[in-house]
A and B are shown apart, each in its own frame.
Chain A
Amino acid sequence: MANEKKPNRVGVFICHCGTNIAGVIPVEKVVEYAKTLPNVVHAENYTYMCSTPGQEKIRNAIKEQNLEAVVVAACSPRLHEPTFRKASAAGGLNPFVFEMANIREQSTWIHMNEPERATEKAKDIIRMSVARASMLEPLESKSIPVEKAVMVIGAGVAGIQAALETADSGITTYLVERDPSIGGNMSRLDKTFPTLDCSQCILTPKMVDVERHPNIKLMTYSEVEKVDGYIGNFTVTVKRKPRGVIVSGDNECNGCGDCAAVCPVTKGNEFDLGLGPRKAIYVPFPQAVPLKYTIDFDSCIKCDLCVKKCGDKKSINLEDKGELVEVKVGTIIVATGFDLYEIEKKEEWGYGVYDNVITGLQFERLIGASGPTGGKVIRPSDGQKPHNIAFVLCAGSRDQDANPYCSRVCCMYSLKHAHQIMEKVPGTVPYIFYMDIRAFGKAYEEFYYRIQDEGAKFIRGRVAYIEENPANKNLIVHAEDTLLGTPISLDAELVVLASAIVPKAETEPLRNKLTISRSPDKFLLEAHPKLNPFSTSTDGIFLAGCCQGPKDIPDTVAQAAGAAAAAQIPINQGKVSLEPIAAKVNDDLCSGCGVCGSLCPYKAITLNEIGEGHRRADVNDAMCKGCGTCGAACPSKAITMQHFKSDQIRAQIAALFTPVGGV
């Protein structure tokens, strides 16, 4: 396509950036060089281009010199491209005829010991930017409307908090939870550190608020099946799993429990981590929200006893096949939480082989009054009370053979467990085997002091291996007391492994449906580890809670509120502006071969039928990230990448290899 457009009149502004640039290269000389470049009609320098006077200079020069494009030679575009685009716009130019030449990160910072070569490189970079700027074209940002609804995936304390925040703001919030009840892992806890609040007591009010909230559409026993769309316009297909029980409307289950009483099938209760039973028709725990029964069709034998018992209420439907529901939302918050690492893989500690080795979460269920033993901590092998308990910290954490990271909460909850057992069963001795005690939060170190004061025993040594005494099923814990420098053994009647926390297994398929990334440690990847831990790099999708990394309840709730605030912004603005750096299909040249669509990593290209078996590629501007894959692959050269057109890039490359200009 012949482009007979005249090259732009380019203005070049070279920043000193204090001494970051000017301390290495002679900026005035580079300005003189810039003046000799083709199409440059104006060049100047200033100490801080990003400052208000600096931006003034751009605005003034545009007007006075009739500039048609601006080049700022300074720092990285990641820092100030938006600043200078706005400045150019303020001067009357389209913000996309602006080009940034990074002569700081890419020259003076990294070659600071070779000023002559840094100067030549800066000249090269500026020359290339000028060549490109002379060919840039104005582009218009599009806006798309935003669906006024939010979806929160996962209803543990993170999801609950986020949903309450968006709902309180007046936004319709779909809260999707795969378990029969909301509450997540926090509802399994007995007490929370360091205040020793009863976990259920502080969580249940929020759970009830969720159930009652007019703006929250609660979808329990449901999973996300499919996600289409983009920020402002997500279409999520939610699978309502077959519950077998009617949860709303006519014949709604009233939670009376008559059905469970007659059900002949008993299984391990997942909520109690297998320590207690439930029926095939069940409620996971007494404070469940919603308080509706659920049938586990994998174990239901369809004997009909429950149906008969339910009688006229007719709340049970054994033929329930579930259903797919399509929901349109503007933004999504992922709050899928954590599971414990499969600690049986660390064979040296005998979990799953020795009866009296349990995990920290199992200990919570035992010591909680609403748990399977009514609050009695007893040994699985004989139901007896243990007179001493070994707590094994860093079990599967900080371990190159398991999870290299620290799971953050286990030091604190093990201190809590030690306190609880000493309080509940005076005389029981807790032995805490640790490498470090990480008591980082508010009142956490004081809590550590308290537990030491109350008499817990601390051994600084990672547990090397555990044996079982076959006669009484006691455990023999082997470690080194590193502070004494002596190998030690301890006869323990119960061992509690503070197992590492890992993201829930279902997070992996879910994140692929959402096209969000994960970090090497398998937790979901935040947009920025310091400045934006509650967003992802996928616009419109946010993160809350342990799915993003191990954290305690205060940090979870804070992050959830942050995610909720961020998720509301596009909805409150009502529209989302799309950067026009996207692929554009020339309908005349497109042959409908589909190569682009098959390669697009963002699922942004669809092939539309235009009659008689012909197809044409259609790029969704909102989902396109301008990566260029389609443009490079198109065999008909029908796709141009806006703002990165082939001739613009060629001009840059040519400018590099054919130096022009003097000085």
Chain B
Amino acid sequence: MSTTPKMKSSFFLGCIAPNRYPGIEVATIKTAKNLGLELVELKGAGCCPAPGAFGSMDLLTWEALAARNVCLSEQMGLNCSVVCNGCYKSLYDVNEKLKENPEEKDKVNKILKLADMEFQGSIEVRHVAEQLYNDVGIKKIRDSVVQPLNGIKVGIHYGCHLLKPGRDRKFTNPEAFGTETPRFLDEMVEALGAKSIDYKDKTMCCGAGGGVRGYKIDFALDMTNEKLRNMQAVGVDCIVDVCPFCHLQFDKGQAEIAEKFGDKYNIPVLHYGQLLGLAQGMSPDELGLEAHVIKVDSLLDKIV
């Protein structure tokens, strides 16, 4: 039985959101507040650490650093909310593994001792998008809309680490959170008055993960290019994601793709928090949209 409050969590920021796309940070905090979900400042967190770019080198170090972040939230007595699929994998997977495997927990705690920390296994790790769907609910999200999104066509990108591998996830509604045909984000986008458009290979990865963006950026961009091509083919007005790394890959990536491959798309990219913010009546500036590489003006024109 959890003694942690339901509608209040610590907010684990990760790296890309606070340090490259702070609009996502603001949007998430404000929109969650409007829906009764309080996201409280978490002090002293660091990189989750990146499951691909870092975990590839040493899994024990990855576990220890992730556990350190979870400990910070344990010390607050709050569940820990993330806004990024990569952070979700690091914190959720390590949290579950150490809870279930006492030997591994001891191994990690020996290392954490050096940082004066001890992993207890007393909290849950959640992704804000999943909290909005399950704890807040579609109806409340719909009711919070003051600026319906006028049927704009959204290409949803679910990302990878939130849902996969399905066997290692314990969502209460597996149909909406399935790995082959997930529906929960589609519902959340349509609740805002937008239209979710299906496209070829919708559940495909953006290509950035696993350290590939750092090591072989052409491979990563080629994957992103395939996704953009598929989305453009069905005429999406924007891309909506729930992971700042995918967000970066699609946003900055379009500029990189234009330069390397010559393909130009100009499709605005929004994190779900930012889309929700627009629907809740916040201004584009408030949501940090001006800082995006791909300008969102064309999209905003369609909404008003």
Let me know if chains A and B touch directly in the complex, using CB atoms closer than 8 Å: yes
One of B167, B180, B201 near A347 (C-beta < 8 A): B180
A348 at the interface (CB under 8 A from B): yes
Closest to B178 in A: A347
B181 at the interface (CB under 8 A from A): yes
- Point out which of B167, B178, B180 has the most chain A C-beta atoms below 10 A from its C-beta: B180
Taken together as a complex, chains A and B put the C-alpha atoms of A465 and B181 apart, in Å, by 12
A347 touches B200 (CB 8 A): no
Closest to A401 in B: B167
A166–chain B nearest beta-carbon distance, Å: 48
Contacts of B181 in A (CB 8 A): 347, 353
Q: Interface SS of chain B: helix, strand, loop or mixed? A: loop
A467 at the interface (CB under 8 A from B): yes
Contacts of B167 in A (CB 8 A): 401
Taken together as a complex, chains A and B put the C-alpha atoms of A465 and B204 apart, in Å, by 12
B201 touches A348 (CB 8 A): no
Q: Interface SS of chain A: helix, strand, loop or mixed? A: mixed
Taken together as a complex, chains A and B put the C-alpha atoms of A353 and B201 apart, in Å, by 15
Closest to A400 in B: B167
How many positions in chain A have a CB within 8 Å of any CB in the partner chain? 6
Taken together as a complex, chains A and B put the C-alpha atoms of A348 and B201 apart, in Å, by 11
Taken together as a complex, chains A and B put the C-alpha atoms of A467 and B180 apart, in Å, by 11
Contacts of B178 in A (CB 8 A): 347
How many positions in chain B have a CB within 8 Å of any CB in the partner chain? 6
B200 touches A348 (CB 8 A): no
Taken together as a complex, chains A and B put the C-alpha atoms of A353 and B178 apart, in Å, by 15
Taken together as a complex, chains A and B put the C-alpha atoms of A20 and B167 apart, in Å, by 48
Closest to B166 in A: A401
Within 8 A of A (CB), among B120-172: 167
Contacts of A353 in B (CB 8 A): 181
B58–chain A nearest beta-carbon distance, Å: 30
Closest to B179 in A: A347
One of A401, A465, A467 near B200 (C-beta < 8 A): A467
Taken together as a complex, chains A and B put the C-alpha atoms of A459 and B288 apart, in Å, by 51
Taken together as a complex, chains A and B put the C-alpha atoms of A467 and B201 apart, in Å, by 8
Taken together as a complex, chains A and B put the C-alpha atoms of A465 and B180 apart, in Å, by 9
Taken together as a complex, chains A and B put the C-alpha atoms of A409 and B217 apart, in Å, by 47
Taken together as a complex, chains A and B put the C-alpha atoms of A348 and B180 apart, in Å, by 6
Closest to B167 in A: A401
B183–chain A nearest beta-carbon distance, Å: 12
Task: Write out, one digit per residue, whether chain B residues 179-199 have a CB within 8 A of any chain A CB (1) or not (0).
Answer: 011000000000000000000
Contacts of B201 in A (CB 8 A): 467
Task: Write out, one digit per residue, whether chain A residues 330-349 have a CB within 8 A of any chain B CB (1) or not (0).
Answer: 00000000000000000110
B5–chain A nearest beta-carbon distance, Å: 36
Contacts of A401 in B (CB 8 A): 167
Taken together as a complex, chains A and B put the C-alpha atoms of A261 and B178 apart, in Å, by 46
Taken together as a complex, chains A and B put the C-alpha atoms of A152 and B181 apart, in Å, by 44
B217–chain A nearest beta-carbon distance, Å: 22
- Point out which of A347, A353, A467 has the most chain B C-beta atoms below 10 A from its C-beta: A347
Task: Write out, one digit per residue, whether chain B residues 187-228 have a CB within 8 A of any chain A CB (1) or not (0).
Answer: 000000000000011000000000000000000000000000
Closest to B180 in A: A347
Closest to A476 in B: B200
Closest to B201 in A: A467
Closest to A467 in B: B200
Taken together as a complex, chains A and B put the C-alpha atoms of A363 and B167 apart, in Å, by 32
Taken together as a complex, chains A and B put the C-alpha atoms of A353 and B181 apart, in Å, by 11
B153–chain A nearest beta-carbon distance, Å: 16
Contacts of B200 in A (CB 8 A): 467
Taken together as a complex, chains A and B put the C-alpha atoms of A353 and B183 apart, in Å, by 15
A342–chain B nearest beta-carbon distance, Å: 14
Taken together as a complex, chains A and B put the C-alpha atoms of A651 and B275 apart, in Å, by 80
Taken together as a complex, chains A and B put the C-alpha atoms of A465 and B203 apart, in Å, by 12
- Supplied contacts A347-B178, A467-B200, A467-B201, 6 more A-B pairs, CB within 8 Å: A347-B180, A347-B181, A348-B180, A353-B181, A401-B167, A465-B180
Question: Which A residues contact B (CB, under 8 angstroms)?
Answer: 347-348, 353, 401, 465, 467
Q: What are 9 A-B contacts with C-beta separation under 8 Å?
A: A347-B178, A347-B180, A347-B181, A348-B180, A353-B181, A401-B167, A465-B180, A467-B200, A467-B201
Question: Which B residues contact A (CB, under 8 angstroms)?
Answer: 167, 178, 180-181, 200-201
Lowest 7 CB-CB distances: which A-B pairs, in order?
A347-B180, A348-B180, A347-B181, A347-B178, A467-B200, A467-B201, A465-B180
